[in-house]
Structure 1
Amino acid sequence: MKHFYKYLAFALLAVSCDKDEFRPPDIGLNYFPLRTGYYQTYNVNETVYSEVAAPENRVYQLRVEVTDSFPNTGEAGYTYVVHRSKRASENVAWQDLDTWQVRENDRELVVTEGNRPFVKLTFPVRKGNAWNGNKFNNLDADEYEIQALDESFTAGGTTFEQALVVNQENNEDLIVYQDKREEVYARNVGLIYKQTTQLRYCTSDDCLGQQKIKSGIIYKQEIIAYGVR
């Protein structure tokens, strides 16, 4: 009988190992969860600078919702249709804004903003991973890098314990052109924070180095709600 229990123990161990062996690897897909009906709501604050007008500050809410999906052509994975809408405050109705697409496979996640695709993440996610965010568009190469992985991050008053920080650009030139961009994703939530500062400064002899803004934008987006409708 003792031999029976011995063999039973080995059998259970083997079954356990087989389950672990065939368990799909965690490559980080849940940092950008996608399913029809999934939505996220954000508070947005942006200031737009122009050479011909005073700075304009805009405060509003943005809602992003997955409305459809279809298999990718010629590769694994799916493409998701994402509808965006905005409103001035929570007391008014949502207004249609535009529609984006998100293409996902086991190598990368590409978000087409309008007609311009950007590689937002590459898989498997690892701290220090770097890639060309403009791989599929006609802009100059732009290196994105994962600076933090599975660390806590607070956005919209909520602390997310497993967050991924992508540094898209960190050019702090205060003479000609400042370009700082960062996006933060949380497991099972998606994008929770986005900040963009892109400012062109006056470079004429009478204002060079004075940080006089000619044009550009300061943009901050923080999540306040998410779920499935």
Structure 2
Amino acid sequence: MLSCQREPVTDAGPGYDYAPIETGRYCVYDVSEQQYALNATPVQRTYQIKEIIGTPYTDAAGQTTYRLLRYRRPSPATDWQLDSIWAVQRTNTELRRTENGQPFVLVLFPVRDRLQWNGNRYNALGEETYELRNVGQPYRVSDTTFNQTLTVLGQNDSTLVSQTRRLTVFARQVGIVYRERVQLQYCSSTPTCVGTNQIDYGFRQVYRLRQYGTN
């Protein structure tokens, strides 16, 4: 999502246009999440997040980086409130997003099916393999079908006692259209609850694109 100019990237060869960028480009997401705690009623939330690409700056390594302004509101009837400021950077070989102070490599270029890399190469969270899937395939989000997308699959583990899943879908000329994060711990305290998918604690969060454009 980074270039040295403010114009959107449209080069279809390496796949840069799966992560277009220009100052003022925005995406609005419907977000649903569930949080679980031991011996407590699950907490369910729905809200909206608006991400706007801001002005570029030069980081400490001399790379052009764009601010990613993130606004939040509980419903379309309420006003947007600034939630956080992230950052996004795109080089010839990778798309990098800094989220809550942690940099992640979301996409590697040029894109191709089954391409793998360490998404945590620039942070201290430990190695995590990301893999490209379904490059150029359609993907439906709510009532909209995007004809050309790619899917980035991160950790995707499911056992009798836990589930971890991270998945992000990018659409050509749009950017992120769907994102899912799951981190659940199932009951394992007694033999009778193992394998029943009874959740002790964790969270599930899903982003679905609602609207996008350029201010």
Report if TM-score (shorter chain) is over 0.5. yes
Alignment match, 1:64: 51
In the superposition, the TM-score normalised over structure 2's length comes to 0.89
Q: For 1:208-223, what aligned pairs fall within 5 Å after superposition?
A: 208-223=194-209
What is the aligned-residue RMSD (CA, Å)? 1.6
Higher strand share: 2
2:141 pairs, out of 130, 144, 155, with 155
Find the partner of 2:89 among 103, 111, 116. 103
Residues 1:195 and 2:180 are matched in the alignment: yes
- Equivalent pairs counted in the alignment come to 204
Structure 1 residues 146-174: Cα deviation after superposition (integer angstroms, max 9, x where no partner):
1111111111311111101111122121x
Q: Which amino acid in 2 is paired with 1:61?
A: Q
Q: Which residues in structure 2 correspond to 1:71-220 (within 5 Å)?
A: 71-72=58-59, 74=61, 78-173=64-159, 175-206=160-191, 207-220=193-206
Which residue among 34, 38, 49 is the counterpart of 2:25? 38
Runs of 4+ in 1 over 6 A off after TM superposition: none
Q: Quick one: distance in 2 between partners of 1:121 and 1:110?
A: 7
Q: Counterparts of 1:72 and 1:104 in 2: how far apart (Å)?
A: 12
Tell me, in whole angstroms, the C-alpha distance in 2 between the residues paired with 1:119 and 1:141: 12
Q: Find the aligned partners of 1:25 and 1:54 in 2 and give their Cα distance.
A: 47
The separation in 2 between residues aligned to 1:150 and 1:122, in whole angstroms, is 15
- What TM-score comes out, normalization by structure 1 length? 0.84
Structure with greater helix share of residues: 1
Gaps of 5+ in 1: 1-23
Deviations 1:180-227 (A, max 9, x none): 121000111000001122101121125333322111111111101111
Q: Which amino acid letter does the alignment assign opposite residue 32 of structure 1?
A: A
Query: What is the CA distance between 1:129 and its match in structure 2?
Result: 0.4
Structure 2 gaps, min length 5: 1-10
CA distance in 1, matches of 2:61, 2:45: 42
Q: What is the DSSP-based 3-state SS (H/G/I as helix, E as strand, rest coil) of the residue aligned with 1:151? A: strand
SS at the partner of 2:17? helix
* Pairwise CA distance, 1:74: 4.5
Q: Give the stretch that moved more between structures: 34-43 or 209-218.
A: 209-218
In the aligned structure 1, how far is the partner of 2:137 from the partner of 2:56? 31
CA distance in 2: counterparts of 1:31 and 1:156, whole angstroms: 19
**How far did residue 144 of structure 1 move?**
0.6
Amino acid aligned to 2:144: T
Q: Which has the larger radius of gyration?
A: 1
SS of the equivalent of 1:53 reads: coil
Question: What's 2:3 paired with?
Answer: none
1:16 is matched with none
Answer with 212-221 or 184-193: which moved more: 212-221
